[in-house]
């Protein structure tokens, strides 16, 4: 019985040598380094995906909001390359029957902010809201009834289609999106 138990014991009663200890520590350090590197790479990928997701959501929200309101516009008030002002009824279910004047533009002080301004009428204050930040570029392209691009300055009565190109950029990541809206309610 004693011989069977002895098989589990280390045949060399001197213990672990310095060389064995150094090899074990070296292998452990290499494995821990690889695990840490893998963790850091995974964290960077997660941060990149998070930035991309945020840019995508912000661009889609902003572009959708602008497109819906442009399609519902009753009047085109101002048409510039980086600014658009329309008359649109933003609350069609309220008792207020006249449309509101709405502008989309880049902020004058921080041109990375896409702004939406609802002009105050009848003495009420303007309502200015940031639609999204991190804007790299915003461009409006205006087309006539035959789908030909109009040159600036645009003759407002000729505009039938508005194309919007929006590019957001953050931390070296860029997201571009474009859409177009026919002016349904303008003759």
**pLDDT score of 100:** 86
**pLDDT score of 55:** 79
Q: From 84, 52, 46, 82, select the one nearest 65 (Cα to Cα).
A: 84
**pLDDT score of 59:** 83
**pLDDT score of 169:** 86
- So where are the chain's domains? 46-182
Measuring CA to CA, how many Å separate 40 from each of 35, 43, 46, 65? 9, 5, 10, 38
Query: Which pTM does this prediction carry?
Result: 0.71
d(CA 73, CA 161): 11
4 burial type by CB count under 10 A (0-12 exposed, 13-18 middle, 19+ buried): exposed
Quick check: 116 and 100 in contact, CB under 8 A? no
Q: From 116, 131, 108, select the one nearest 177 (Cα to Cα).
A: 131
Task: For the chain, 187 residues long, give each residue's pLDDT as a single digit of tens.
Answer: 455 555 555 555 677 888 888 999 999 999 999 999 999 998 888 887 777 787 788 888 889 999 999 998 888 999 999 999 999 887 766 666 678 899 999 998 998 999 999 987 666 788 889 989 889 999 999 999 899 999 888 888 899 999 999 998 887 778 888 999 998 887 6
**pLDDT score of 171:** 77
Quick check: 88 and 69 in contact, CB under 8 A? yes
**pLDDT score of 163:** 95
How many CA within 13 A on the CB side of residue 44? 8
């Amino acid at each position: 019985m004693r011989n069977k138990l002895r098989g589990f014991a280390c045949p060399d009663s001197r213990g672990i040598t310095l060389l064995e200890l150094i090899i074990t520590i070296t292998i452990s350090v290499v494995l821990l380094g690889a695990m840490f590197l893998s963790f850091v790479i995974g964290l960077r990928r997660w941060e990149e995906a998070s930035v991309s997701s945020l840019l995508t959501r912000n661009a889609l929200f902003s572009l959708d909001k602008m497109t819906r309101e442009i399609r519902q516009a009753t009047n085109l008030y101002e048409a510039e390359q980086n600014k658009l002002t329309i008359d649109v009824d933003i609350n069609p279910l309220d008792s207020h029957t006249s449309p509101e004047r709405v502008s989309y533009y880049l902020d004058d002080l921080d041109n990375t902010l896409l702004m939406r301004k609802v002009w105050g009428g009848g003495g009420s204050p303007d309502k200015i809201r940031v639609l999204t930040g991190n804007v790299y570029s915003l461009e409006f392209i205006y087309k006539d009834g035959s789908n030909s691009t109009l040159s600036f300055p645009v003759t407002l009565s000729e505009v039938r289609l508005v194309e919007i190109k929006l590019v957001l950029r953050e931390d070296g990541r860029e997201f571009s999106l474009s859409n177009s809206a026919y002016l349904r309610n303008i003759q």
